[in-house]
Amino acid sequence: MQYQVNLKQTEEGYAVWCPSLPGCASQGTTKEEALNNIQDAIQSYLEVAKEGLRFTSVHSLVLW
């Protein structure tokens, strides 16, 4: 199965996410690395979903 991903260049490299899989995102210093990383993230996401675990959304994150 194929999933559409969005890729955005950032100051640190590239951010990539899959809009159809909420919370499924990754990054990389190169475009190729980011795309490889999102493939791993999608595979992990689908494995967790297959096990019947639910994903929760993060509304805010505070780093100290």
* Regions of the chain with pLDDT less than 50: 61
> What pLDDT is attached to residue 9?
98
For the question of whether the overall pTM of this predicted structure is more than 0.75, the answer is yes
> What pLDDT is attached to residue 59?
54
For residues 36 and 5, give the distance between their C-alpha atoms in angstroms, rounded to a whole number.
12
Close Cβ partners of 53 (under 8 Å, ≥ 6 residues apart)? none
